[in-house]
Amino acid sequence: MNHRLKRELRDLGLVAAGAIPGALLRWQLELTMPPQAILLANLIGCLLIGVLLGQPSRRDSLYLWGGIGFCGSLTTFSSWMLELVRQLETGRSLLAALQLAVSLMGGLGLVQLGSSLAARRWR
């Protein structure tokens, strides 16, 4: 097996290994905290990806496992959009607008916060 194939298989394994706990956490949040689960999962994912991005020496293996695998499976754009559409269809447009604003502003803020915290930690 050549070196490139070995690296790609290793990377695939890292992403898969991170995706499993991320997906399981999101599933548990959805079971225990509807309808806030999607918002909470997305905000947690934003904070964690910020922490990963704020590290001075970004290790590929940590980013593959934590960023793409764990955060990628924890956060969900499609479920978020589905929740917003359901709110709009049931006449809860104010709630949909509020969730949209909190998700976007909170997500951006938490990525920045995570990045800043990580940068301070590794100075």
Q: How far apart are the first and last CA of the chain?
A: 40
Q: What is the pLDDT of residue 121?
A: 83
Q: What is the pLDDT of residue 88?
A: 95
Q: What is the pLDDT of residue 95?
A: 95
Distance, CA of 66 to CA of 81 (rounded, Å): 24
Domain that includes residue 111, residue range: 3-121
Q: For residue 76, is pLDDT > 90? A: no
Percent of the residues in the chain that have a pLDDT greater than 70, as a whole number: 98
Distance, CA of 36 to CA of 75 (rounded, Å): 13
DSSP 26-73: HHHHHHHSTTTHHHHHHHHHHHHHHHHHT-SS--HHHIIIIIIIIIHH
The domain total for the chain is 1
| 28-58: pLDDT as tens digits | 999 999 878 999 999 999 999 999 988 876 6
pTM of the model: 0.85
**In the structure, what pLDDT confidence band is assigned to residue 1 with cuts at 50, 70 and 90?**
confident
**Do residues 29 and 40 touch, judged by C-beta distance below 8 A?**
yes
Instruction: Supply the mean pLDDT for the chain.
Output: 92
Q: With the C-alpha atoms ordered 48, 53, 55, 59, is the resulting torsion angle positive or negative?
A: positive
| 81-110: pLDDT as tens digits | 988 999 999 999 999 999 999 999 999 999
